[in-house]
Every structure is written in C-alpha cells, then in structure tokens.
Amino acid sequence: MAETGASPLPCTPPARSPLFSAEQFMWLTARVLEQRLFAYHFLRGAPDAVEAALDAYRNEDGGYGHALEPDLRGPVSQPLHTAHALRVLDAVGRCGGQRVERVCRYLTSVSTADGALPAVHPGGRGYPAAPLVQGSPTASGVSAHAGSRGSLPATGPVVGLLHRNEVWHAWLFRATDFCWQAVADLEDPHPHEVLAAVAFLDSVPDRPRAEAAADRLGRLVRARRLVVLDPDRPVPSGQAAGMRQVPQQAARRGDPGARHFPHDLAGSPASLARAWFTDDEMARSLDHLAAGQQEDGGWPVRRRSWAPVPTLEARALVTIEALCTLRAHGRFVG
C-alpha cells in the first residue's frame, strides 16, 4: 500500500518540459528500480514500489549486489552496492528498522581492521568492474591487498546516511572515528574523497567539529582548484578545464580529464559545502547543469565509458540526481 497522501496514479508533467523529456528517457532506458525511483521523486509514486524493486538486488548476507552500482558487476555483495542501496532507502524515507540492521551486520562482516569499508571487497574479484572503481580487480596498479584498506569514499557516505537517519549500531563508532581521521588527513585530495567527506560532515552529529572540518576542507578545495568555477571558460590544451591538481590524480584513478563543479559538492543549499562558493559561482554551476540535458531527455555520464550497458544504466542515475539537485536549489520547475 502507498503511504497516506500518495496518489495511486502518476502525475504527468507538462509536455516538452525538462521533466517530461526526462520521464520519456527513463521509460525508454532505465532499469525498473530507477523508473520507480523517478516516479517516487517526480510523479507521486509510492515508496513501497521502490523498496520492492530494490529487494531484487539484496543477498542473504544482508548486503547488496547484482550490479546495483552499474560500474561494479557480478552477483556478490559489495560495499559500493550496499551504499547505493542505503541512498535509495534514504531517498524514500525507509532507512531504518530491521532492513538496515541487517545491512549493518553485513558492513561489520566486511570491514577492515580499522573499522572502515574497503572500496571493493576481495570476494568480488573475477567479475567485471570499471577501471575507475578504486581498488577494483581491473584497475591498473591495484595490489592484491586493496580490499584490506579502509576507504573514505566507501565509508564516508554510508556513515553520513546512517547518522542522518539516527541509526545506532556498534559498527558506527569505529567507522565514524575512521572518517574523522581520514577527513583530517586530507591534504591533496581527489574530488571523490571530497564528495565522501562532505557526505559525512553534512550529517555527523558533532556539528561544531563538522563545521570546522568543512571550513578547512573548503579552503583546500579552492586552493587546489578541485572544481571548475567557470564552466564556460575554454579548456586549455592538455588540461582539464582550469584544474591544476585533478588531472594527475584522475589519471591514476581511471578518470582522466574529469571535471567537477560546485553543484557536485553542494547538492543542496543545506550542505556545508554551499558556503564554499559565491552565489554567482553556484548560479553558473547550476546553469551548466541545467543545460546538460541531452536531446533524448537524459543527462550524460561525465567519465569515460568502459562498457555500453553500465554507461546506459548510470545515465538514469545521473538524470535523477541532476533533477533532484536542480529542484533542491530552486531551479527545477516540473
């Protein structure tokens, strides 16, 4: 049954609107999960339908697999898949109860010695994975012990989500300590590490400490030129849109030429990262995001494609995220 107030029929957006075009793209290309998630966000769909679709990716160990995160294939549970599942549950207001208790037991079982999550658990080796997945078996230069090290990009968003939903579990204590230390140690970060740090800092309960850490991180982001502040500026030959540090780090992690923007870090006005950018910088970033919708109604994946199906599946996720970001900043009209 749908929640009270939810309409049993979809709410059709105006024809030729960005939302209408995006809806057509979703029906043409997206997996059932993303179709139902889109319907929940924009067409008054029911959260029960989203949960039912998500269950197809759940394993007996309490984790999630089956390429829920498109860049990591195979049936086995992985931290990245499970983090993705938590984001879906959080989006529909279902991040709690026995389901999340089972997830926390899975997280405990795959944690590293420092209490954190590895980017890729060794149990998934042998299945295809994008080179950009840090620690994946196909990533160049990855040691056989990559799954034994804690990863801030894998751990930070999960810890943040659980804190935001007031989930209390023994796993959280050491994982939270790991994230605090990992954020404090950031000096020359990759944007993926910054994204994870923001996800953690936006929801961790100690707000004064989080605000102080975010202030330091924001100054570091600007000093290192980790985001593109003027999307319309021509890209210098051999460089990635005016960024000084990212190309070398991105090349090492499989995403050469990656570009990140203020809206990537500050997905909503409530994020601590919003204070890192001026109103003009944020407006240019959101203009660039809105203009990125393609003729088929979807948004592009801003990284090198490694296989056709994962890229297409990722486009549905990117499209939902783009629409949610624009709406959060008051720039999206359905």
Q: What is the DSSP string of 112-132?
A: -TTS---SS-GGGTTS-B-TT
Residue in the structure block whose two tokens are 């759940």 = 58
Q: What is the pLDDT of residue 308?
A: 94
Q: Are 251 and 243 in contact (CB under 8 A)?
A: no
Report the DSSP beta bridge partners of residue 64: 58
C-beta of residue 315 within 8 angstroms of C-beta of residue 301:
yes
Query: Is residue 109 a contact partner of residue 121, using CB atoms and an 8 Å limit?
Result: no
Each of the 334 residues of the chain gets a pLDDT tens digit; together they read: 334 444 444 566 666 789 999 999 999 999 999 999 999 999 999 999 999 999 999 999 999 999 999 999 999 999 999 999 999 999 999 999 999 999 999 999 999 999 999 999 887 678 899 987 755 444 433 334 445 789 999 999 999 999 999 999 999 999 999 999 999 999 999 999 999 999 999 999 999 999 999 999 999 999 999 999 999 875 554 444 333 334 334 333 445 457 899 999 999 999 999 999 999 999 999 999 999 999 999 999 988 889 999 999 999 999 999 999 999 999 875 5
Assess contact for 332 and 14: CB atoms under 8 A: no
Q: Which residues of 124-155 are buried (b: 16+ CB within 10 A; e: fewer)?
A: bbebbbbbbbbbbbbbeebeeebbeebbbbbb
State the burial class of residue 318 (Cβ atoms within 10 Å of its Cβ: 0-12, 13-18, 19+). Answer: middle
Instruction: Give the C-alpha distances (Å, rounded to integers) separating 263 from 92, 238, 298, 300, 329.
Output: 22, 25, 18, 15, 9
pLDDT tens-digit readout, 3-55: 444 444 456 666 678 999 999 999 999 999 999 999 999 999 999 999 999 99
